[in-house]
Amino acid sequence: MAINLKELSKKTVPLSPGHRACAGCGSIITIKLVLMAAEDPIVCVSATGCMEVVTTIYPYTAWRVPFMHNAFENAAATLSGIETAYRSLLGQGKISGKIKFIAFGGDGGTYDIGLQSLSGAMERGHDMLYVCYDNEAYMNTGIQRSSSTPFCAATSTSPVGKASRGKKQYPKDLTKIMVAHRLPYVAQASPHNWQDLMAKTRKALSIEGPKFMNVISSCHRGWRVPMTDSLEVCRLAVESCYWPLFEVEDGAWKLNYRPRQKLPITEWIKGQKRFAHLLKPENQPMVARMQEEVDRRWGELLQLCGEKAG
Amino acid sequence: MTGRLILQGNDAVALGAVKAGLDFFAGYPITPASEILHALVEYPGQVKVLQMEDEIASINACVGAALAGAKAMTATSGPGFSLMQEGIGLGHMVEAPLVIVDVQRVGPSTGMPTFGAQGDLLQCRWGSHGDYFPIVLYPNSVSEIYTQTIHAFNAAEESMSPVVLLTDGCLGHLFETAELVDVPLKTRTARPLGGGSRHFTSLTHAGDHPKATVPSAHQELIAALAAKTAGVAARYAFYEYLPVKGADTLLVAFGAASRAAYHFKGECAIFRPIRIFPMLEELAEIARGYRRVVVIEMNAGQYKLLVEALIHRPVGFIPLLGGAVRVSQIEEGLKKCLQEST
């Protein structure tokens, strides 16, 4: 499903300019690409988080589509209600036309506090797409660690100092948790590969039932990268196989992109100041552990996708 | 730590808690309370900090830690405090001593996350289902936050129950010179989990035995909980009373609102409850001496309702809503109250 740039250029972007996201924010690019990929009318719900805040600064809203911001832990539950009401009204002939439903949440609102609500909505099988813009920490409240924060990354609650070397745990594999719900469509994407992200969004919206997309979305404040590098750092996450691009359609795994030459994890972390301590010689064993975990997950994925090891 | 420091309210909570012997903190990021979590994460020494997946997990982790023998605390703001309510009821039922800090912000829901409010008062008292009798303390300066945090731990240890320390977004982020005055610590007498067989349950119980279908057991349990906290609360009857010669109006205010109310201390008497719950009988006594009682609070009339019930007569009311605390608002409100009661 090729995305045509000419066709896109004629579209009104459903998210208006003038929002207050930082220059170079990866998450706003992700959301814009997802919204632009939609062809039918859409209704959006957003959990509390960076993107909700920056798109709704009083007295303005950047949303050109029906939009609801709810509390932190329940975007998927609120959208469950909206989607079910739509089906009820549709059945009674009180409403007509196709409407698609999209929920957005950051990693805090999806991996952590919103996981129960997301799991419930997916298990019940609502016709909705949930998009997690994963910037790997609570960037909106002061850069605290989340269960998506990478191993060793420095955050305000996993600081780097004498007693602590950043986050102690590996990130939760949320995409796999969603696959375990046996959804018709689950995908992992990145905004640097806009065609892949938009094609996945279109495919997801064309499928009836619950869909989930996990999109890595850099945050220069939290990752401590120059704002000009926001897409480059996402690209390096994919090239180093820290964030592989794949999709799982009705249980069938497919790798969407295989780097010609898998970059070592150091290529991804070296430009990010949240990992600055890992460049010191005494911390090399931790880099090795990180590499080992990336390799393990990558190997597992290759196997699931029926790809050759390596 | 004692002495004078320039400090923000949230840091004073963290320092007070450490002074009180905090062993365990579980929390979840939320504006305007996150600095408490940040300060404790970086504090070297005895405090174990868990960042949980949400506030439900935070309060329940504290219940577990408290039963295991630790001095436990969590800190949050309105939305998180709402999520904690079931766990707070559990804490009362299993008699878990712990401290919950609520740095109040404007609600309902996400509301005005960066602005202070006092909208969680009734939630403190009746937020969880069923009958329980919480001790709630509400300081109004950074110095007092430090001291009252220690008192909150002491009250929790003595009452074997969750104690709420209220502050608000204004006080939490207020930087001022603070005098850190220490308070002697109370130690727990109950033995922790791990020593012999013990059975804790959220069901109605008598001692270690569930009695979930015996009405008389429930009546006895509730009476015992009420008597226990009332007895302890009597030792924490903190308030500030500023009488003025010839004044016929008594202003009742607490937390950030009381700082603005001080502006009128030349013309009106001021009563500032620090122990918000159980309500202070002293207020009923003092109110008798005034023709007019006016409650100033940052909500649409929560404490006012309770003050009326306590003193058995109508009281004037000045709401400070939407995070704004202005002397001019109080001035106007007072004028209105004077007209209404003349």
Instruction: Round to whole Å and give the CA distance between A204 and A42.
Output: 13
Domain boundary among B236, B267, B283: B236
For range A268-287, the mean pLDDT: 97
User: What pLDDT score does B1 carry?
Assistant: 57
- The crossing angle, in degrees rounded to 10, of helices B55-67 and B78-93 is 30
Same domain, B177 and B315: no
Tell me what the pLDDT averaged over chain A comes to. 96
Asked if the Cβ–Cβ distance from B49 to A157 is below 8 Å, we say yes
Measured between CA atoms, how close is B31 to chain A, in angstroms?
A: 6
Residue B265 and residue B225 share a domain: no
Give pTM, 2 decimals. 0.93
Q: What is the pLDDT of residue B197?
A: 82
The model's confidence at residue A3, banded by pLDDT at 50, 70 and 90, is confident
Looking at the structure, tell me whether residues B288 and B221 fall in a common domain.
Answer: no
Cβ-nearest to A157 among B31, B37, B83: B37
Chain A within 8 Å of B47 (Cβ-Cβ)?
no
CB–CB of A69 and B83 under 8 A? no
Same-domain check for residues B50 and B110: yes
Same domain, B173 and B248: no
Q: What is the pLDDT of residue A2?
A: 66
If asked whether residues B227 and B251 sit together in one domain, one would say no
Looking at B236, B254, B275, which one is the last position of a domain? B236
- Interchain contact, A161 vs B42, CB within 8 Å: yes
When divided into structural domains, chain B yields a total of: 2
User: What is the spatial distance between Cα B83 and Cα B110, in angstroms, rounded to a whole number?
Assistant: 13
Q: Is the pLDDT of residue A254 over 60?
A: yes
User: In sequence order, what are the residues at sequence separation of 6 or more whose Cβ sits closer than 8 angstroms to the Cβ of residue A7?
Assistant: none
Which residues, numbered 149 to 178 in chain A, qualify as contacts with chain B under a Cβ-Cβ cut-off of 8 Å?
A: 156-159, 161, 163
pLDDT band at residue A206 using 50, 70 and 90 as cut-offs:
very high
User: Does residue B144 sit in the same domain as residue B285?
Assistant: no
pLDDT, one tens digit per residue, over A287-297 is 999 999 999 99
Q: What percent of chain A has pLDDT over 70?
A: 99
A102: three-class secondary structure by DSSP: strand
Torsion of CA A300, A303, A307, A310, to 10 degrees: 50
pLDDT digits (tens, 9 = 90+) for A14-52: 999 999 999 999 999 999 999 999 999 999 999 999 999
Is residue B100 domain-shared with residue B158, that is, in the same domain? yes
Indicate whether B205 and B248 sit together in one domain.
no
When scoring B43, B51, B56, B77 by the number of chain A Cβ atoms within 10 A, the one with the most, hence best to mutate, is: B51
On whether both B59 and B40 belong to a single domain, the answer is: yes
pLDDT in tens, A113-170: 999 999 999 999 999 999 999 999 999 999 999 999 999 999 999 999 988 899 999 9
Which candidate from A73, A112, A157 shows the least CB-CB separation from B38? Answer: A157
pLDDT of A1 reads: 53
As averages over each run of 10 residues, the pLDDT of chain B (342 residues) reads: 86 97 97 97 88 97 95 98 98 97 96 95 97 98 98 98 98 96 91 81 89 94 96 98 97 98 96 98 97 98 98 97 94 93 67
CA distance B54 to chain A (A): 5
Give a three-class secondary structure readout of A173-225: CHHHHHHCCCCCEEEEECCCCHHHHHHHHHHHHHCCCEEEEEEECCCHHHHCC
Interface check for A193 against chain B (CB to CB < 8 A): the answer is no
**Dist CA B181 CA B178 (whole Å):** 9
Task: Specify the CATH number for the domain of residue B216.
Answer: 3.40.50.970
Asked whether residue B156 falls in the same domain as residue B297, the answer is: no
Mean pLDDT confidence for A67-89: 95
B109 and chain A in contact, CB less than 8 A: yes
Q: Which domain holds residue B298?
A: 240-340
Q: Which of B236, B253, B284 is the C-terminal boundary of a domain? A: B236
Query: Is pLDDT larger for residue A310 or for residue A232?
Result: A232
B170 with B282, same domain: the answer is no
CATH at residue B264: 3.40.50.920
